[in-house]
């Protein structure tokens, strides 16, 4: 019976849960990750700005400040190991108040953030000629990065799986029972036993805490809406541009992405736990960005989206449960949650009493095949070896049949349309999948041995094809 009991079960496969999963698996701990959706990184992690913050904004003395700075320093090594693109583009914070800029620089000093410089308007105009007339002061933070948060999380999860971690997707925990020496988690079909449970369920934290009879918190949900601009706009900024922050967050920013798009947003409204976009929110972004930069053309938008942040007071909640021994509570992981994730993992390992010491024989994942990163000679060689790499599926992003097949046949096999999109980007270009979605769906069905009618966009029940298109059925 003992061999069927995991040392640790993690509930929630966002970037924080997966970071812990990865570290524990590579250290030889018997760990399982449970996720209610059909893929990892489907919640808050997939819908944020993708910025690894330097750490100058967090309130000194908080977990946010400590873990942001520590996490920022860890990303280069982790991304190199995982073959994940990471761009050190730096970040500017600009506004009219010199006192507010000085306050941020003082925070940066207290938080131990290096590479932060104050700038006057003359210097700013040289570096950012598109700033508006009301911008008088700013700072530049050298150690700010951009990343694809969902792709990073997927690669972390893949590495954990090949190093012995178990991942159960589509696992909706319905009941948790405390036995003498372990917990039993049940979805009504399969029981998972573990000596310790980490509740990293994000916006669903309280639902899991209730089943555990652990601490529950008043969670404030804040919806953040974004515009995504076409590749044609990729040169309007080469660094992240923030306004001076306010009590609701870091404000409406403009940032490049590692894939060549520009993100504009987010809003920050107290909301229900839903990811709708609104005319009010999108118009608010339009107004606020026009107060900061003159060259942002929202007419080049190819997509709008939103994400939900879970806020509990002014800091993260990362603690041993005082009510239920063997439970670790992780809640309120809003910004800078992505930036802090690697350090949150190490902090949790300390709470667990587990030393971070990766196994000597740790395996590494293979890099994803990306023809867009290859020279013409390398592309031609690959196509000569396998003609699938010469068959374009997504014209906007230049994604081929070979790349999609490779992405499906990885340690974690994506079975959804959005799962493929987050891995190698078909459907993320100008037409947003209008010309490639059918081909992607057929490849998912064929490679996974399922019916085309059973391919889903993202969630269970959300089928891509919902009915017959001819009297002879779906073809």
Catalytic site positions:
53
304: burial class by Cβ within 10 Å (0-12, 13-18, 19+)? middle
d(CA 51, CA 89): 10
Q: From the centroid of its chain, how far is CA 341?
A: 10
Question: 16: number of CA atoms within 13 Å, CB side?
Answer: 33
Q: What is the CA angle 257-139-135, rounded to 5?
A: 90
d(CA 153, CA 465): 28
Number of Cβ within a 10 Å radius of residue 56: 26
Is residue 44 a contact partner of residue 341, using CB atoms and an 8 Å limit? no
Radius of gyration in angstroms for the set of CA atoms belonging to the chain, rounded to a whole number? 23
Q: Which residue has the tokens 């994400």?
A: 307
Residue among 326, 36, 461 at smallest CA distance from 207: 36
Q: What is the CA angle 205-210-213, rounded to 5?
A: 120
Residue among 306, 236, 316 at smallest CA distance from 266: 306
Residue among 41, 43, 47 at smallest CA distance from 304: 47
Whether omega before 228 lies within 30 degrees of 0, making that bond cis, reads no
φ/ψ region of 227 (left if φ > 0, alpha if ψ in -120 to 50, else beta) reads: beta
Q: What is the DSSP letter of 454?
A: G
- Ranges of beta strands (E only) in 183-259 are 183-186, 191-199, 220-229, 240-243, 253-256
d(CA 19, CA 45): 12
Q: What is the DSSP letter of 249?
A: B
């Amino acid at each position: 019976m003992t061999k069927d009991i995991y040392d640790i079960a993690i509930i929630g496969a966002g970037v924080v849960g997966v970071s812990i999963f990865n570290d524990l698996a590579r250290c030889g701990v018997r760990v399982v990750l449970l996720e209610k959706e059909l893929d990892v990184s489907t919640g808050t992690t997939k819908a944020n700005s993708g910025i690894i913050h330097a750490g100058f904004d967090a309130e000194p003395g908080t977990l946010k400040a400590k873990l942001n700075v520590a996490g920022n320093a860890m990303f280069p090594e982790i991304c190199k190991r995982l073959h994940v693109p990471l761009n050190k583009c730096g970040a500017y914070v600009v506004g009219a108040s010199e006192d507010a800029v000085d306050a941020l620089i003082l925070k940066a000093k207290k938080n131990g953030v290096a590479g932060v410089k104050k700038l006057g308007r003359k210097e700013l105009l040289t570096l950012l000629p598109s700033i508006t007339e009301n911008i008088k002061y700013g700072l530049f933070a050298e150690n700010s990065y951009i990343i694809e948060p969902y792709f990073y999380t997927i690669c972390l999860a893949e590495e954990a799986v090949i190093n012995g971690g178990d991942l159960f997707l589509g696992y909706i925990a319905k009941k948790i029972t405390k036995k003498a020496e372990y917990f039993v988690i049940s979805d009504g079909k399969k029981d998972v036993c573990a000596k310790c449970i980490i509740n990293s369920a994000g916006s669903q934290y309280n639902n899991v805490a209730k089943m555990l009879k652990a601490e529950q918190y008043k969670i404030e949900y804040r919806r953040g809406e974004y515009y995504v601009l076409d590749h044609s706009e990729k040169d309007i900024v080469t660094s992240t541009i923030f306004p001076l922050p306010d009590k609701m967050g870091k404000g409406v920013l403009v940032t490049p992405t590692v894939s060549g798009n520009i993100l504009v947003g987010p809003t920050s409204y107290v909301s229900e736990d839903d990811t709708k976009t609104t005319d009010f929110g999108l118009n608010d972004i339009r107004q606020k960005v026009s107060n900061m930069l003159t060259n942002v053309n929202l007419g080049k938008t190819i997509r709008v989206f939103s994400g939900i942040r879970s806020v509990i007071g002014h800091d993260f909640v990362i603690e041993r449960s005082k009510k239920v021994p063997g439970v670790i509570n992780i809640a309120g992981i809003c910004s800078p949650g992505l930036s802090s994730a690697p350090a949150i993992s190490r902090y949790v390992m300390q709470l667990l009493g587990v030393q971070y010491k990766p196994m000597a024989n740790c395996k590494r994942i293979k890099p994803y095949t990306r023809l867009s990163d290859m020279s013409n000679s390398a592309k031609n060689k690959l196509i000569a070896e396998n003609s699938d790499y010469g068959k374009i599926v997504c014209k906007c992003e230049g994604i081929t049949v070979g790349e999609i097949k490779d992405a499906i046949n990885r340690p974690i096999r994506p079975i959804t349309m959005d799962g493929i999109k987050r891995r190698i980007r078909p459907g993320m270009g100008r037409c947003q999948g209008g010309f490639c979605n059918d081909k992607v769906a057929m490849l998912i069905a064929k490679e996974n041995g399922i019916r085309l009618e059973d391919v889903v966009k993202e969630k269970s029940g959300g089928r891509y094809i919902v009915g017959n298109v001819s009297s002879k059925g779906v073809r």
